[in-house]
Amino acid sequence: MQRLTLDEYLGLHGVSLPISDYTLDKCRFPHGLSERQKRTFQRDVQKHAAAYQEKRAAAIREYEHLVAVGEIVPKDRIQVTIERAKFGHPDNASTQAARRVCEKRHIDWENYTDWETYVSAS
């Protein structure tokens, strides 16, 4: 039984971004494109974007199925906050906020090591 958030699961399957990054390195055209090249490029981009969305949707359905079966247990907010406080960079604003939340709720995030037997407090 693993504890994973949906974002972590999607990251493991390479579909963590909400949109495809297929065109990130294909946008430099020093002399422009002809109309035919534009149409071909748009068709290619649409094909890859649709394939990416199908793959992402399949990964989300698979995650939901694994949660329903019980093979994966989704992390709750407290565990995500503890992990962010413990493993985040101290200069990061979200890490600082997570540490403040842990201090407010009297959670010892620095010495927390009991990840396997973690039980939700809520």
Report the predicted TM-score, pTM, of the whole model to 2 decimal places. Answer: 0.75
DSSP letter at 19?
S
Residue-by-residue pLDDT tens, the chain, 122 positions: 788 899 999 999 999 988 888 887 777 777 888 899 889 989 999 999 999 999 999 999 999 999 999 999 998 888 888 888 988 999 999 999 999 999 998 888 888 776 665 554 44
Question: What would the two tokens of residue 35 be?
Answer: 């109309």
pLDDT of residue 65: 97
The three-class DSSP label of residue 73 is strand
DSSP letter at 60?
H
Half-sphere exposure of 55 (CA within 13 A, CB side): 18
Quickly count: other Cβ atoms within 10 Å of residue 14's Cβ. 11
Question: What would the two tokens of residue 40 be?
Answer: 């071909």
Question: Distance (Å, rounded) from C-alpha 120 to C-alpha 70?
Answer: 16
